[in-house]
Structure 1
Amino acid sequence: MWVLFLASIIVIAEAEDIKISDKQKLIFRKCCPENQSLIKVTEVNETLSELYECHDGVILEEIYGIVSEPLYVRSSVLVKNGLPKDCDELQMVTVSIAETETLPKENICYDMLVAEVVNGTLKQNVPKTVALSCNQSDNVIVSEPKLKIHAFRKCCPRGQSFDTKYHECRLNNKQNNKNWLPHQLDLSSGHIYETDYGLPCKFDEYAVELYESAFILSVEGSTLFALSRSGEKDSRLMRGEWCMDQEHGTRRVIAQVCTRNCDTFSAYCVRKCCPAGQHFKLRRCGSYASVCVPNEDDDARFNISTYLDPLQREYENIFDVMGVRIGLQCPAGRYGLNTSLPQDQHHLTRNSYLETPTTLTHNYCLEMFDRRECPEHNDVIVSGVLCFLPATLTKDFRVSFVIITISSVCLALTLIVYSVLPELRNLHGRTLICHVSMMLLACACLARVQHSAVEDYRLCTLLGYGIYFGFVAAFSWLNVMCFDIWYTFGSVRTVQPLRKSASERRRFLWYSLYAWSIAVMLTLTMFLLDRYPISAVLDANIGNGACWFGSVQNTQSDWPHYIFFVVPMGIVTCVNFILWLLTSRHCAQVKSEVHRLQAGSVGDRAKRRFRIDRAKYILTGKLWVVMGAGWISELLSTIVSEPQWLWNIVDLFNELQGVFIFLILVVKPKLYYLIRKRIGYSRTPIDTRLEKPDAQNNAASSGRTSSTFLSRTISSDERTNMRISLPNNIKQP
């Protein structure tokens, strides 16, 4: 008896539990049955008729080409299918995924509207979640549990997965991911999901790939949580900012996220020219003018291993996270880099910049160029694409050529005057002749480079070494002149007779040995390290892309320019300044000593000697200012490159060095009388004091020969035939 009573109590309790559980069970009212999609059919005749119908997904794909995923509902939710009944007219409302909760009411259902058909014609194919109701104004409070519809984006269309090698979606050879999406949704925290394909990143955003090996990926509602396995990064990506998929050929999961800052995920980001799944095909052979076409085989896929492998060997974990941005906007047109030309050799840097011998930029893209229809190539290559600089930012090399040519003519006239006048060929005059001749060599080579692009690689290299040797030798001879004037004053403790010519010849030989040795040693060392490179830091690359140092300003590759030019010339400039200061002190001492001398032959001769040497000292100071200003501009130009107008003024000053030298050394009354006497036009006796003019010390300013000045000596005319695209208002050659 007691046993039957207890059994009855247990049965009643279980029945009550089942009743309560069924009442609290989550309910979702879906408009269409499983594997069917909702469409809106509109007939516009004399009257407007709007119907909502459910159709099988296979039929929709065959008739309208619509591929869409229905709403996914987890098995823990009770689904009740069917459109609201007993309605004269259904009202449709678009559901906001982030805000709206579903209502388990009999007169409301939810589903994905995949298309609208008007008079038998497909009007649009924009899947969106909608709610259909009999009376939209019915606001009856429902106490039953409510559900939210969340969003999940699959990176690739149905039947495809994401290939991390080529950074694109590819068809699956096997049906190994047929149930991947439902399985992945089951792992998420939401109950109902609308699914879509692709990642709609904005034009200035990178699609960064988060691999399961580097991140712990989880989805809660419409939010993706990406936790770095190293514990350094913890990111939350909201709806529309991410997608997930299966990695091609594996069972691993990969996520893509949109970001403007790749450092947020410690990603290495590059830019691709064509959309994913497309590549460049040449419009005509012999040119890089191309158009984007779909990939048809693996050879044309986006394979940039030639850029990444060298970095992978040097930085082991650099590609743990990759990002790709599509497109390159160039207002003035763009051109492809022809890797067969020395000036177009390029590579990617540690910070994902593209570096050429003359450029370091983030404004580039990489792409595959299909040349298989060209008999001379018949291959597919990957290369970089850069933007043409707007005309307003391009220096007019014709103006520079004219100015430097004028400077070269002035230097040549100065050299002729000092060579033909015997009165000027003393020790100081001979050092001055050497200095001016080297400045003439540098300016003449620079004028040729400024005239037009030097196509011949050997000639370009020869001109580059001519510029370098000329400036280095000019600095060396200025150092000789500074030392000589310091020695002249520093060695005077008592008034001594004038030095003999034999002594001056010996000193000139020693000076020549020093100056020419410095110039030859530096040039030969740089040439050997350039010809037989042992390190990128010491590889000057003279003539490689520019008839000067083949390095990019303000980069790590600019070390050869510093080592072989900026630092040595800076040391010489500083030594010259120290010698000039010491000479100033000695000059004051000698001046007081000379003034104490009585009038007489010795006193007059000492005073005359002092006046001549003081004139040398003053001119040496002027020369140091000119040379020092040139070197300072050289140093500053390697640090900053803005504002451009200021450097244009500095360039103009440097380009006029030959004119300044001519004005200082030649345009003087004493030299005017000596020249007239030499050519026989002087009919009146000339003051004998004019026959021994004060020796003039001079230094042609070095010129800012850094990559800011000399690297601009190459025009870009040769790139005309390598254009890829130009604005419509720019005439193509």
Structure 2
Amino acid sequence: MISHGFLLLFFSFILSITASTNYFKYTGPNLTTTENETFTEFYLINRRNVLHVTENVTFNHFLPKCCPPNYKYEKGERKCVRSNDTSIINELGMNNVDDVYLIKSGLRDCEVIVDHVLLLDDFKSVLGNYKQIRYKNETFASGKYCVDGIDNDSEYEKEFILRLCYGPEYCRNRELRCLKKCCPDGEIYIGRDCHAQPEYGFPTEHYSDIIVNFTDNFAIFRQKRKCKLHFPNITHENITIFENGSISYTVGGPWQTHNVEDEMYCFELGLSNNFLTPYLLMCNNIEERNNIKYWFSRVVMSLSCVCFIATMMVYVFLYKLKKVIHRIVFSYCLAQFTGFATLTYLQIDPEPPQPTCSVLGFLVLFGFHAGFSWLTVMCFDMWRTLGSMSPKVGNNNKSELKRTFYYCMYGWLVPSFITVFCYFENKYSFFPESLHAYIGDLFCLLEKRVQEGNYGHTMFFIIPITCAIIVNIIFFVLTVRYIIDATENVRKMSDTKKEKKEALYALKKRTFMALKLFLVMGINWSFEIISSIISFKEYTITTYIELFLDTFNCFQGVFVFLIFVLKWKVIKSIMEKFKIIVVSSVSRSTSLASTSG
């Protein structure tokens, strides 16, 4: 293998003794180059070697080749395929073995690209002197076109490709359909970013059912986008792309139509963990991301985070986590705060760099799973304390520490196992593509790709929270059933009016507490499960229901604060703690005893 430095010296020497003049021959300064197989925009070549230009430089004179050296163009899927055919090199006049030439691959800065297939004679007549070309009475300067050989089986009639670059007005004024591509020419999604991979092209057959009168004759429109893309929660039956490139879709209610120049959709391939997936992505307009709905959501979630912190501080500094219930509430608030705080940050900055993006995505997943785990612990402990017909276990410190240990084992290890399992699946892809967990790919969070045939979100989020909700409901029903039975027994057994009243009051208080816990134990998340099965965007009324439930979820921290902290006896204890008021020691003991239950 010849070293890079030696090759550059060799090229410089050849240039110094070569008298021939060729428009594409490179005579500039030495460049940083490499011989590896990564794709770049510029290449230095002669008939023996190919070097990739790795510097971020701009050249005025270059050979506009559509594919990298040693590749030809495949017109069906608009991709580059490896080929040892040198006919394009010969036709472009690069015959001198010793000359060094500069090649620019592809049209990555072009907005609209139109392909034309030419035979050899037409190809030669179009090229002229290469500085500019003229095709069908239009002139295209250097950088606004590229040429290459076409990969086919014919040995007698070689074809060449001429790709021309237009502005976005082409799609408005011409009859040829424009299909919108997310990444620049020759690039696809790898993770959340576009990377040069001209071997994959731009196949659109996967979406032929939503494109009216689909054919492979179309222009590629790559729009300079200002919006954030997302996977649409729309079935193919509810979206149509017309011959003029405009899109029509419905998310409930009347159909909405946008012309081809609106920032509404684009197609692209995505490569992740060796899975190649065709994407149809749609735009959330920048105005929508900043409208009152999104700002309100951020404010409410931030308020919930503050409420979680306030609740934890009360249970640490006032109750000093003395009882098991104190530790349960503290752990629940800590888990929810982790999920809510991370999610709030991602709403403010939805596209942090890697690996921060993936770390935050897994942190959100862990936080919410831990929250559900501690809700289950809370519901179990509620049933154990209020609803169990068995004799109560002793409340000595050793027994409570043992119970707390078991609760922590479940509350933290279960979500840890789910998150770690999801991480390894995301990294090593040991499940089929339909169950692959996409986190930090296009977006930081665990992605919903049901319309793409992927159920990773269902497996790693929906199914675990469904199990947790079912278990929570069972404990709640058992608790309420016991309270109802106990209430009926009090009515039958109490002889004095005063005893009956006190007993019913105690049971009523317990029932009310159970009801409040039921409201925050994640039942409203059941609509998240339903929305994973059916689309709430099908009808206007269900869209508003989904908005209401999402907002309700954002208030979780506020609800917890209202249930566990915002009570007169707790407030009174806090005021006494900070010597705002003075109460007797007997009153203080009574107050803490009643509020901690």
TM class, shorter-length = 0.5 to 0.7
* Equivalent in the alignment of 2:149: none
2:216 maps to what in 1? Answer: 324
Q: Deviations over 1:142-164 (max 9, x none)?
A: xxxxxxxxxxxxxxxxxxxx976
Partner of residue 591 from structure 2, selected from 673, 690, 695:
690
The 8 Å contact of residues 434 and 477 in structure 1, kept in 2 or not, is answered as: yes
- Name the counterpart of 1:511: 407
Which letter maps to 2:200?
T
Distance 1:544 1:453, change over 3 A: same
User: 3-state SS of the aligned residue for 2:594?
Assistant: coil
Shift of residue 589, structure 1, vs aligned partner? 2.5
Equivalent residue number for residue 520 of structure 2: 623
TM-aligned CA deviation for residue 613 of structure 1 = 4.8
1:243-273, Cα deviation, whole Å (9 max, x unpaired): xxxx995999xxxxxxxxxxxxxxxxxxxxx
1:432 and 2:329 aligned = yes
- 2:47 corresponds in structure 1 to none
The residue type paired with residue 439 of structure 1 is Q
SS at match of 1:683: coil
Aligned residue for 1:453, secondary structure, equals coil
1:254-403 correspondence to structure 2 within 5 Å: 278-280=163-165, 306-307=200-201, 323-324=215-216, 326=218, 334-335=224-225, 363-364=265-266, 388-391=283-286, 393-394=288-289, 396=291, 397-403=294-300
Q: In the aligned structure 1, how far is the partner of 2:545 from the partner of 2:507?
A: 41
Distance 1:491 1:384 in 2: 53
Distance 2:183 2:75 in 1: 28
Over 3 Å counting, the alpha-carbon distance change for 1:433 and 1:336 in structure 2 is closer
TM-score normalised by L of structure 2: 0.53
Matched, 1:636 2:538: no
SS at match of 2:582: coil
Please, which of 551, 558, 570 is the counterpart of residue 659 of structure 1? 558
- 1:172, 1:248 within 8 Å by CA — same for their partners in 2? no
Write the letter of the residue equivalent to 1:335. Answer: R
Show CA shifts across 1:649-683 (max 9, x none): 33322222212222222111111111112212222
Change over 3 Å in CA distance of 1:525–1:310 after alignment to 2:
farther
- Tell whether the 8 Å contact from 1:530 to 1:538 is kept in structure 2 after alignment: no
Three-state SS of the structure 2 residue aligned to 1:364 is: strand
- Gap runs ≥5 in structure 1: 1-161, 176-197, 199-246, 253-275, 292-302, 313-320, 355-360, 368-382, 697-733
Q: Distance in 2 between matches of 1:363 and 1:425?
A: 56
* Deviation for aligned residue 1:413: 0.6
Q: Which amino acid aligns with 2:315?
A: Y
Structure 2: how far apart are the matches of 1:497 and 1:674?
Answer: 28
What is the deviation of 1:590?
2.9
Note the alpha carbon deviations across 1:119-165, whole angstroms, 9 max, x for none.
Answer: xxxxxxxxxxxxxxxxxxxxxxxxxxxxxxxxxxxxxxxxxxx9767
Q: In 2 relative to 1, CA 335–638 (structure 1 residues): closer, same or farther, beyond 3 Å?
A: farther
1:407 and 2:301 are equivalent in the alignment? no
Local SS of the residue matching 2:483: helix
Q: Deviations over 1:326-351 (max 9, x none)?
A: 35889xx643999xxxx999xxx999
Aligned-pair CA distance for 1:564: 0.7
| Residue 649 of structure 1: aligned partner | 548
Aligned residues: 383
Corresponding residue for 1:170?
117
CA distance in 1, matches of 2:494, 2:316: 36
Change beyond 3 A, Cα 1:594–1:694: farther
The answer to whether the 8 Å contact 2:342/2:360 transfers is yes
Aligned to 1:570: 466
Shift of residue 467, structure 1, vs aligned partner = 0.9
For 1:286-324, what per-residue CA distance to the aligned partner results, in whole angstroms no more than 9, with x for missing partners? Answer: xx9999xxxxxxxxxxx9861579999xxxxxxxx9723
- Of the candidates 338, 345, 357, which is equivalent to residue 448 of structure 1? 345
Within 5 A, what are the aligned runs for 1:65-144?
Answer: none
The match for 2:66 is none
* Secondary structure of 2:355 counterpart: helix
User: Does the CA-based 8 Å contact 1:612-1:694 persist in structure 2?
Assistant: no
Paired residues for 1:182-221 under 5 Å: none
Shift of 1:474: 0.7
Paired residue secondary structure (2:225): strand
Distance 1:687 1:607, change over 3 A: farther
Identity %: 20
Change in 2 beyond 3 A, CA 1:173/1:630 = same
TM superposition shift of 1:408: 0.7
CA distance in 1, matches of 2:518, 2:500: 27
Q: Which residue of 1 aligns with 2:456?
A: 560
Q: How does 1:222-237 map to 2 (within 5 A)?
A: none
User: Shift in Å at residue 691 of structure 1?
Assistant: 2.5
SS of 2:117 mapped into structure 1: strand
CA change 1:325–1:646 in 2 (3 A) is: farther
Q: Which residue of 1 aligns with 2:108?
A: none
The answer to whether the 8 Å contact 1:408/1:443 transfers is yes
Give 1:465's match in structure 2, choosing from 358, 362, 367: 362
Is contact 2:366-2:419 (8 Å) kept? yes
**Is the contact made by 1:485 and 1:616 (CA closer than 8 Å) also made in structure 2?**
no
TM-score normalised according to structure 1 size: 0.44
Which of residues 527, 547, 555 in structure 1 aligns to 2:423?
Answer: 527
In the alignment, residue 170 of structure 1 is paired with which amino acid?
A: V
Determine if contact 2:331/2:374 at 8 Å carries over to the other structure: yes
Give the letter for the 1:523 counterpart. Answer: T
Partner SS for 2:216: strand
In 2, the alpha carbon distance for the partners of 1:613 and 1:671 equals 17
Q: Which is helix-richer, 1 or 2? A: 2
Aligned to 1:673: 572
What letter is aligned with 1:514? Y
Instruction: After TM superposition, give the deviation of residue 435 of structure 1 in Å.
Output: 0.4
Among residues 409, 422, 444, which one is paired with 1:547 in the alignment? 444
Q: Is the 8 A contact 1:616 1:695 kept in 2?
A: no
How far 1:511 moved relative to its partner? Answer: 1.4
Q: Distance in 2 between matches of 1:390 and 1:454?
A: 15
Encode CA deviations 1:430-458: one digit per residue, 9 max, x unaligned.
Answer: 11111011111111111211122343211
Q: How many Å separate the matches in 2 of 1:577 and 1:452?
A: 36
Q: How far apart, in 2, do the equivalents of 1:668 and 1:583 lie? A: 23
Q: State the alpha-carbon separation in 2 of the partners of residues 567 and 165 from structure 1.
A: 38
Q: Which has the higher strand share?
A: 1
* Other-structure match for 1:586: 482
1:363-397 deviation per Cα after TM superposition (whole angstroms, max 9, x unaligned): 43679xxxxxxxxxxxxxxx999775445544544
